[in-house]
Amino acid sequence: MIDLHCHILPNIDDGSQSLSQSLTMARCAVKDGIHSIVATPHTLNGVYTNPAEEVATHVANLQEVFSKNNIQLQLYPGAEVQLCPNMLERINSGEAGTINNSGKYLLLELPSQTIPKGIKDEIFTLKLNGITPIVTHPERNSIIQHDPDILYELVNRGALVQITAMSLTGEFGEFVKQAVEMMLKQRVVHVIASDAHSHDNRPPVLSHAVEIAAKILGSSEEAKYMVNDTPAAILSGDIVEIPEPVHYNSKHRFFTKFF
Ligand SMILES: [Fe+2]
């Protein structure tokens, strides 16, 4: 499996807090059957700045430590980039990195309580310039939780979607679990990733979530695709094949539409 979203680099954000913890996380990932991890530190979120060049250096350093410790885990550079104005310029200047620095896919973090009005334009601009945004853990956004159609619209505009493994396994609570189940049924989920921040509280483990996703989707193959084929294509900068999203007509919509 490939973990496309993981805060495994030590001491550069709120993820791993030491080299020793990064090694424990790596061993935990390998034990779960993960062979590759994209290191995605927070970037441009008002707290952390992790420019692409620096992330690449951190990745190379940690990879070397893995080799010395006989850990068979391939690391790739990336970033979890908070939605902000002028994203394209910031990517082009190296302030924010794309996945594997291919310039093709970007992990895009939304605020947890709002959907910024500018999201439509930012997605349009990125797509126009060959960059596909991958919206991270929308199931943890309180607006999207109440209106699944927002995600449907984002996917129709060309975004991909990544959910967090622990949302499926229930650690974020029943409400988040229900939201993520709905998203899977709507076929608006493309990647399952750990978004791991440590070896204990939120570890780099995917297998349990994949089993649960397989039951919800009624297809083990479809669930495995989200941790194998799709992230592999993203890493290579190739086109990702996605299912047709299903429109969800909520009778109890709490919020007005944003588009
Ligand atoms: Fe994250």
Coil/strand/helix, residue 146: helix
- What's the CA gap between 98 and 73, in Å, rounded? 20
How much distance in Å is there from the Cα of 5 to the middle of ligand 1?
Answer: 6
Nearest C-alpha neighbor of 194 from the set 17, 30, 50: 30
pLDDT of the residue at 256: 36
How much distance in Å is there from the Cα of 218 to the middle of ligand 1?
Answer: 28
How much distance in Å is there from the Cα of 241 to the middle of ligand 1?
Answer: 24
Domains, the chain, ranges and CATH?
A: 2-236 (3.20.20.140)
How much distance in Å is there from the Cα of 79 to the middle of ligand 1?
Answer: 9
How much distance in Å is there from the Cα of 42 to the middle of ligand 1?
Answer: 7
Query: Sign of the C-alpha dihedral, residues 59, 91, 197, 144?
Result: negative
How much distance in Å is there from the Cα of 214 to the middle of ligand 1?
Answer: 23
How much distance in Å is there from the Cα of 1 to the middle of ligand 1?
Answer: 18
pLDDT of the residue at 249: 62
Q: What is the pLDDT of residues 39-85, one digit of tens each?
A: 999 999 889 999 999 999 999 999 999 999 999 999 999 999 999 88
How much distance in Å is there from the Cα of 251 to the middle of ligand 1?
Answer: 32
pLDDT of the residue at 45: 86
- What's the CA gap between 181 and 9, in Å, rounded? 30
Element (H, E) at 36: strand 36-39
How much distance in Å is there from the Cα of 3 to the middle of ligand 1?
Answer: 12
Residue 205 near residue 194 (C-beta atoms within 8 A): yes
Q: What is the pLDDT of residues 92-111, one digit of tens each?
A: 999 999 999 999 999 999 98
